[in-house]
Amino acid sequence: MSDTLPRPEDVAAAKQHPAAQTRTLVSTDYAVIAPDGHVVAPLVGWNHTSGVVLISPSMGSAPRQPRFTQTLVQLTDKSTTTSAAPGVQRFVYVLSGKVRINGQDLTTDGYAWLPPDVPHDLQGVEPGSLLVFEQPYSPLPGTPAPDAVFGQALAQPAEPFMGDQHARLAHLLPDETDARFDFAVNRFTFDPGTPLPFVETHHNEHGLYLQHGQGVYRLGSGPTETWSPITAGDSIWMAAYCPQWFVATGDTPATYLYSKNVNRDPR
Ligand code: UGY
Ligand code: MN
């Protein structure tokens, strides 16, 4: 066994190694997960399916801890699954490929919200990838959960955000009109150069997946403040009260999908 340590110049050279670089950042109030760090593994509760759990409660410690999971699923034509964990709602978004859920075929930008504790029949039809959010469902007192929702993101109205036609927001679930939904998933498109109009700070947390384009995300404050360059395939967790701001860069629109806990008292 060697009793010597690497020389300082060896450490300096290691830091420059191409394989030692990553854009991934994991902080106390946010995380940026870049594909360069993905480690693919079989997914619990799925058959013939691997993927990456991008965001989960393991990422932080209470109270600044994700209360949901966001998973990138590598779909095969043999993939199957029938439920999330007990009491957990599931939202499935097709990034590519084709999936059949309860007999309905979904292709790119198709999605399904699946209520807790009602088995579903999900089968891969053509290989591709899915973005899946899961969060424990919190029912309204005395009110059952809604039935499953199926949709196509491009068919949902994309409204100008705070009057700006260059930032367009589509709600994929009816959370604004139906308080039985405690979870929202929205699709936000920014034309090049368009920003979020102000630095948001709010009690809700977000899971975000950049589907198209690129931009810069300002996250955190004080010692955790960062200005992260992000590109398609990157994910972000933003804890409650994490200051957040975005501007789309590049020549094409930037589109992100994001989740948000809604319609429940945060106490
Ligand atoms: O709904 C939202 O809070 C959204 N405007 N946040 C975000 O895009 N970071
Ligand atoms: Mn926000």
Task: For residue 169, tell me if it sits in a domain.
Answer: yes
Task: For residue 226, tell me if it sits in a domain.
Answer: yes
pLDDT per position as a tens digit, 213-224 = 999 999 999 999
190-193 long-range contacts, Cβ below 8 Å, gap at least 24?
Answer: 190/166, 190/215, 190/246, 190/247, 190/248, 190/253, 190/254, 190/255, 191/166, 191/167, 191/248, 191/253, 192/248, 192/249, 192/250, 192/251, 192/252, 192/253, 192/254, 193/166, 193/247, 193/248, 193/249
Average pLDDT of the residues in 113-132? 98
Average pLDDT of the residues in 47-51? 98
CB 188 less than 6 A from any atom of ligand 1 = yes
Task: For residue 267, tell me if it sits in a domain.
Answer: no
Average pLDDT of the residues in 38-42? 98
The pTM score is 0.97
Task: For residue 98, tell me if it sits in a domain.
Answer: yes
Global ipTM: 0.99
The CA 236 to ligand 2 mean position distance, Å, reads 12
Report the CATH number at residue 169.
2.60.120.10
d(CA 71, CA 29): 19
Output the pLDDT for position 5: 96
Q: Is the pLDDT of residue 2 over 90?
A: no
Task: For residue 5, tell me if it sits in a domain.
Answer: no
Task: For residue 219, tell me if it sits in a domain.
Answer: yes
Q: Identify the residue whose tokens are 């619990």.
A: 44
Share above pLDDT 90 across residues of the chain, in percent, rounded to a whole number: 97
Task: For residue 50, tell me if it sits in a domain.
Answer: yes
Q: Is the pLDDT of residue 203 over 90?
A: yes
Cα dist from 85 to 80, 81, 184, whole Å? 15, 11, 19
Return the closest-CA partner of residue 46 out of 78, 14, 23. 78
Output the pLDDT for position 62: 86
Residue of minimum CA distance from atom 2 in ligand 1:
260
Name the strand (E) or helix (H) holding 14: helix 8-16
Domain count, the chain: 1
The CA 45 to ligand 2 mean position distance, Å, reads 30
CB 256 less than 6 A from any atom of ligand 1 = no
Residue of minimum CA distance from atom 6 in ligand 1:
200
Average pLDDT of the residues in 236-244? 98
Structural domain range at position 234: 24-261
Task: For residue 10, tell me if it sits in a domain.
Answer: no
Output the pLDDT for position 3: 82
